[in-house]
Chain A
Amino acid sequence: MTATTSGWSTEDMARRAAREIPAGCIVNLGIGLPTQVADYLPEGHAWLHSENGLLGTGPFPYEGDEDPNLINAGKQTVTVLPGGSTFDSAFSFAMIRGGHVDMAILGAMQVSCGGDLANWAVPGGKVMGIGGAMDLASGARRVIAMMQHTTKKGELKLVQRCDYPLTALRVVSLVITELGVFEPTGHAFRVIDLAPGVTRERAEAATGAPLT
């Protein structure tokens, strides 16, 4: 999947992220890459929260069963599992801001070794908007960032200090990239896992802060 011969594919990253989700917890999966994590969760393992007003989000509907008024936060048609519920946006964000959502797995543009997250705007680029990102980043009990380790141009994304517009301060507890799993500890990233074939030197070269 990646340009290099070693490291994790996006499927591997999603599988690795799924391992971080304890049974019986409430998880919000961000738009894009994090949404794929759902494919690697055993049935009934966790409850998926969609901030547009759905708890107990199920898989995509069978062809012909899709309902334009049953969607996830990425505006994709989904299903609702037995035991699921629908509610308004104020109630949904009370769940998030009130600390009732155990975990959010979010895409990221930059993460600092202090746990700061930048994931909603590129300086000088087109502004896509904030959506639920700031509420999730500051409200979820645990925040995991899932991202490519560097940009396509090779710019570092795991950094000392974010220079992209911030989403929230000191919130990221784990970063999962194609190179491995890294924990922001304040002044460095602690290496939790390296993907098969990825050397520590390669991870170090691709990271803008010390690794420990």
Chain B
Amino acid sequence: MTTGKHGNKVVASVAEALGPLRDGMTILVGGFGLSGNAEALIRGVVERGVRDLTLVSNNAGNLGKGLATWLKAGIIRKVICSYIGNNQDLHTRMASGEVEVEITPQGTLVERMRAAGAGIPAFFTPTGVGTVVEQGKETREIDGRRYLLERALSGDVALVRAAVCDHFGNVRFWRTARNFNPVMATAAKLSIVECDKLVANGTIDPDDVHLPGIFVHRIVHVPEHENAFEYRTVRKR
């Protein structure tokens, strides 16, 4: 009997989890800015030494942290993102031409990956009609409204940050750290989960699973995270 791809998923180290990475791959990385980042896997990719990557992520890091470390390491050829904001590491490399940047509306970005994971090759959306986003795309009027055709977006690898994961790969996320993570897991050939807490199968109630293990292929347990703040806003007690 050969082992199916849903056999033993838990690996001992970040390096082992990232073993299949190769130069030129498209990597989907969850997170909204620095929130919900698979921090150890992101560090591990730089250490792994792969280059010429296409990165798909909402922001490509910020404040020199998270995915900005990939930019600084010079391992990215192209970024597909929705927002740059104050990410100086991306601004400078976009201006110099070192990194190609494709800016996509946020809802379109996530829907392109949702479509890829769900076996839908393209979809019509009203977002971006009459703007630069429409350029080069097929448009169609449906029931009196104009839409543009967006293509599905898949990846070779997805890096997912989970709060809790069982040995089959069923995942629970924490608060707004969920963001792009579960959708990216559905859209990649190899989905790697970095979890704060690894639990036995049956610990997570089936009704409480946010991402079913069918979308997860490798699991690495990383108990400690920095969880960096981007804008720490508080009120006085």
Contacts and interface: CB of A to CB of B under 8 A. Distances in A.
Interface of A: 50-54, 59-71, 74-78, 80, 86-90, 92-93, 96-97, 116, 126-135, 138-139, 165-169
Interface string B107-128: 1101101100000000001111
Chain B interface residue count: which class?
35 or more
A interface, over-half SS: loop
Given A76-B230, A89-B180, A130-B106, 19 more contacts: A53-B176, A62-B237, A63-B236, A68-B34, A68-B35, A68-B228, A68-B229, A69-B174, A71-B231, A75-B231, A80-B175, A88-B181, A96-B107, A130-B104, A130-B105, A132-B105, A132-B107, A165-B131, A168-B131
Given A52-B176, A89-B180, A93-B111, A60 B234 contact: yes
A86 B176 contact: yes
Most chain B CB neighbours (cut-off 10 Å) among A74, A77, A93: A93
A31 to B, nearest CB: 9
A16 to B, nearest CB: 24
B230 A89 contact: no
Given A127-B103, A128-B83, A167-B131, A70 B125 contact: no
A132 B106 contact: yes
Contact of B175 (A70, A75, A89): A70
B3 interface: no
Contacts of B125: 97
Nearest to B62: A75
18 contacts: A50-B176, A52-B176, A59-B235, A60-B235, A69-B174, A87-B178, A90-B110, A90-B183, A93-B110, A97-B111, A129-B82, A129-B85, A130-B133, A134-B107, A134-B131, A139-B107, A166-B132, A169-B130
